[in-house]
Structure 1
Amino acid sequence: MHISRSSFIRAAALAAALAGAQALLSGCAVHVPHGVKPVTGFDAKRYMGTWYELARIDHSFEKDLTQVSARYSLNEDGSVSVLNRGFDSVRKEWREAEGKARFLGPTDVAALKVSFFGPFYGGYNVVSLDEDYQTSLVIGGSMDYFWILSRHKSMPEQQLDLLLQKARSFGVDLERVTKVAQ
C-alpha cells in the first residue's frame, strides 16, 4: 500500500490536532488537591441559598471586590446554579458572574467542579462545614484557591480566627488570605 506524502501530512496534522485537543481538555479536568478531604455526609439542599465571603486568597477575577456573595440553587438535573456578586471598589460598580457546578462523584461528598467560562472548570471542595450549615471552608482545585463563607455578613473575630487556624491545618497559606469587607 502506497501512502502519498500529502495524505501522510494530513494524517499527521490531524493526529497532532487531536493530541493538542486532548491535552487542552485534560487541562480542564478537575481533581481534589492532594491531601484535601471534602466533607462527607454533605446535604446539597441545606447548602443552597446565599453565602457571604468573609476571607479569600485574592485572584484577578475577584480583585478589588467587596461585599461578595454567592447564591446557590439546585437544578432538576442535580447540578447547581451559581450567582456570584461583588462590588468593585475601584470602578464603583457591581459585578456578577453566573456559573454552574457539578459534583465530581457522589452528591453526599462536597467535591464539585464549577464553570463560569464555557468548558473550563475549577474545583470547589467544601473541606469544613459546621453542623448547622452556617460556615464553610472551601478549597479550589489547588491550595491557591480558598474561601471562608458564612450565612451572615460578619462573625466574631475569635470565630473567624478559629476558622483561619482550621484552614492552616488543611495547608492554606494564611499569609495570602485577605479578609473581605462586607
Structure 2
Amino acid sequence: MMRSILGLVTAALTLAGCSSPRPRLAGDEPPPVAENIDIDQYLGTWFEIARADHGFERNCHGVSAYYERREDGMIRVINRCWKDGLDGELDVAEGRARIADRLSNARLKVSFFGPFFGDYWILDVAEDYSWAVVSEPQGRYLWILSREPQMDDATLQARLDFLHGLGFDTDGLIYPDQWESRDAAPTEGLPENAAD
C-alpha cells in the first residue's frame, strides 16, 4: 500500500488553523532563514532526527527525505517512513519542490498534491551540509535533519539551543527511531542513484 507518509504535508502546511501544536512561541515574525544555500549541496538523502508533532507523520520511524534535480528544473522529493517502528510497513510519498527565493535559496515550496504547495524554509545548515534545521513562516512545523541517521549529543544540543534562541519550544519534539548507520538504512523506495 503506497499511502503517503507526508502526502498530507502540503495540505497541512497550507491550512490555517491546523490542529498541530505550534512549536514557535515568540512573536509573529517569521523565523529567519539561512543566508545562502547551495542547492546542489543540499540535494541527496536526509534523515529525520527530531520533529514537532505533525499529524501527517504520526507513528513514523526511520524517516528520510531524498532530493534530486528534475529535468524541468524542479526538485524531486521522496519521503519515506516505516509505520509503527523500523520493522513496520514502508510508506513512500513522492513530490516536487521549487525554489521560492533565489536570493538565499533557503525558501522552497513543496507539493505532494497537484497545484498545492507548502512552505519549506531552511533555517540553518552546517557548513559541510551534514545537518539542517527546517520550518516554515509561522513556525508550526519543525525538523532537525542529518546526513546520518544518528546525531551526536553535542550537535543535537547546539541545534536545540539555536531553536530556543528563535523562540521555539522544543520540549515536545519527537525523536523517531532511526537506523544505526547509513549502511543499515534500507534503500527501498529510492532510485538506484540515491546512494550518495
| TM class, shorter-length | 0.7 to 0.9
Q: Moved runs in structure 1, 4+ residues, more than 4 A?
A: none
**Identity among equivalent pairs (%):** 37
Instruction: Give the structure 1 partner of residue 88 of structure 2.
Output: 92
Q: Which residue does the alignment assign to 2:105?
A: 109
User: Is residue 2:49 matched to residue 1:54?
Assistant: yes
Offset of residue 107 of structure 1? 6.1
Q: Secondary structure at the match of 2:150?
A: coil
Deviations 1:126-163 (A, max 9, x none): 01001100000001242110000000010111221111
Secondary structure of the residue aligned to 1:177 is coil
Higher strand share: 1
The alignment's TM-score, normalised by the length of structure 1, stands at 0.77
Query: 3-state SS of the aligned residue for 1:115?
Result: strand
Instruction: Establish whether residue 45 from structure 1 lines up as the match of residue 46 from structure 2.
Output: no
Distance 1:105 1:47 in 2: 15
Q: Which amino acid in the other structure matches residue 149 of structure 1?
A: L
Higher helix share: 1
Q: Which has the higher Rg, Structure 1 or Structure 2?
A: 1
Aligned length: 153
Match of 1:126 in 2: 122
Q: Is the CA contact (8 Å cut-off) linking 1:42 and 1:107 kept in structure 2?
A: no
Q: 1:159 aligns with which of 143, 155, 158?
A: 155
SS at match of 1:77: coil
Distance (Å, rounded) in 1 between the aligned partners of 2:177 and 2:103: 32
Identify which of 29, 36, 42 aligns with 2:31.
36
C-alpha contact (below 8 Å) 2:96/2:111 kept by paired residues:
yes
Unaligned 5+ segments in structure 2 are: 1-13, 16-27, 179-196
Helix, strand or coil at the partner of 2:174: strand
* 5+ long unaligned stretches in structure 1: 1-26
Q: Deviations for 1:13-33, whole angstroms, at most 9, x for unmatched residues?
A: xxxxxxxxxxxxxx68xxxx8
Aligned CA-pair RMSD: 2.1
